[in-house]
Amino acid sequence: MENRLFDLTGMTALVTGAAGGIGSAICHALAQQGARLALSGTNPSKLRSFREELNDTYGHDHVEITCDLSNTEQVEHLVPAAMDTLGKLDILVNNAGITRDNLAMRMKDDEWDAVIRVNLEAAFRLMRAATKPMMKARFGRIVSITSVVGATGNPGQINYAAAKAGLVGMSKSLGQELATRGVTVNCVAPGFIRTA
């Protein structure tokens, strides 16, 4: 008998940055526990092969949804698309993130804007979209992958640190708004992770 720490059988999850290093590990963990996944990312062929790998390993008929988180229109359609294909949404994992490192005095506006748009604004839009169906179901789990850099700062990453710190504050606020409706909002803040 398989030893399972927690059982997600019958649950559904949307994971952004699903085919990346941390994202793929999150997807394996969720699928292993029985969740059916909507895998989101920008590379359709990478997503497709990862979906096939998960389906072969765990079953559940996972789906992939290509989405560029820097594109507001695509972001606004992601949660509805996940709900259409999965039937419902129990878990949202805001994992996708980008870096555009530079010293503050040299940082260009587009380097600032790109990181804030993908790492913070897209997460806000996805959380906002997931809130209503989760409140209606009186159940939901929203998890955002932040970074220790959001708490400590890091030279050359003023944009990234600001976005990750913003995710923490946003999650604390949303958690207080949704707690009475059975929806939890949390962050996981990794340090450096050995990935490809």
What spatial distance separates the first Cα and last Cα of the chain, rounded to whole Å? Answer: 33
* Catalytic annotation present for 160: yes
| CA 80/CA 126 separation, integer angstroms | 10
Report the C-alpha gap between 40 and 54 in whole angstroms.
14
Give DSSP secondary structure letters for 109-122: HHHHHHHHIIIIIH
> Residues 24, 121, 146, 160: which is the catalytic one?
160
E strands along the chain, which residues?
12-15, 36-41, 63-66, 91-94, 140-145, 183-188
Indicate the DSSP class of residue 69.
T
8 Å CB contact between 183 and 131:
yes
42 within 8 A of 95, measured Cβ to Cβ: no
- Enumerate residues 6+ apart whose C-beta is below 8 A from 50: 18, 19, 24, 27, 39, 64
> Annotated catalytic sites, by residue?
160
